[in-house]
Amino acid sequence: MTTLPMFPLGTVVFPGAQLPLRVFEPRYINLFGDLSEADSYFGTCLIEKGHEVGGDDARFSSGTLCQIIRLEELPSKQLLIQSIGIDRLSVDRWLPDEPYPIANVNKLPNINKLDFYLKEKIVIELERCYVLLVQKGAVQPESLNINILDQIDLYTACSIAPLGQLDKYKLLASASSESCAEILLSLITSERETLAAMSRLQNDNDK
């Protein structure tokens, strides 16, 4: 078990994902000020209820260990931080937010894989979702290179999937690579079916 400074967010961060932060709250200025080049790790977790700013939020128990890559001081006492997700973690106990969120955490097993269960089906569904989103005008064609989807790992697939944050939290909290892949396939298949139905309805209305 490790005591770790925590930065609760309104988004899920997967291991391997880049996490840019613009920090302006005094408590988080203090958090990153207390970190050093030798100890540049902090945790993130999804906010269950409440907001990122102001405190008094409820937080989910699974999260991600992150490491600072670059820190830049900005005018008006702000920080621009580039960090990356390293590992999954679970929060054993939240400590008082004095002066910022702190928790006792445990590292979770690494279940990320390059050749993961159901990968071919997941890649196909991701491609279909992407095409429908482009047709809908919701994303730009260059926002995803579908030619390299077969080279992504499991958590990259989870990260780029067009899903809500609660669904992504289910994926992050999955106990195994297999269960994560099964949940991901089910979720993106459902999303693709919804997008296809919306597209058909739009086409019917345009006739």
Q: Which domains does the chain have, with CATH numbers?
A: 2-107 (2.30.130.40), 119-206 (no CATH)
Q: How far apart are the first and last CA of the chain?
A: 61
DSSP H or E run through 128: helix 119-136
The pLDDT-based confidence of 69 (bands split at 50, 70, 90) is very high
What integer is the mean pLDDT of 155-159?
97
DSSP H or E run through 74: strand 58-74
Contacting residues for 199 by C-beta, under 8 A, at least 6 apart: 132, 135, 136
What integer is the mean pLDDT of 36-54?
84
What pLDDT score was predicted for residue 111?
97
pTM reported for the whole predicted model = 0.91
The pLDDT-based confidence of 3 (bands split at 50, 70, 90) is very high
- pLDDT of residue 98 exceeding 80, the answer is yes
| CB 166, CB 187: distance < 8 Å | no
- pLDDT of residue 207 exceeding 90, the answer is no
Q: Is 62 left (phi over 0), alpha (psi -120 to 50) or beta?
A: beta
Name which of 55-64, 83-92, 163-172 the model is least confident about: 55-64
Token couple for 129: 């979702």
The pLDDT-based confidence of 53 (bands split at 50, 70, 90) is low
What integer is the mean pLDDT of 104-120?
96
187-to-99, 110, 121, 135 alpha-carbon distances in Å: 38, 22, 12, 20
What pLDDT score was predicted for residue 75?
83
Torsions phi, psi for 65 (to 5 deg): -80, 130
The pLDDT-based confidence of 55 (bands split at 50, 70, 90) is low
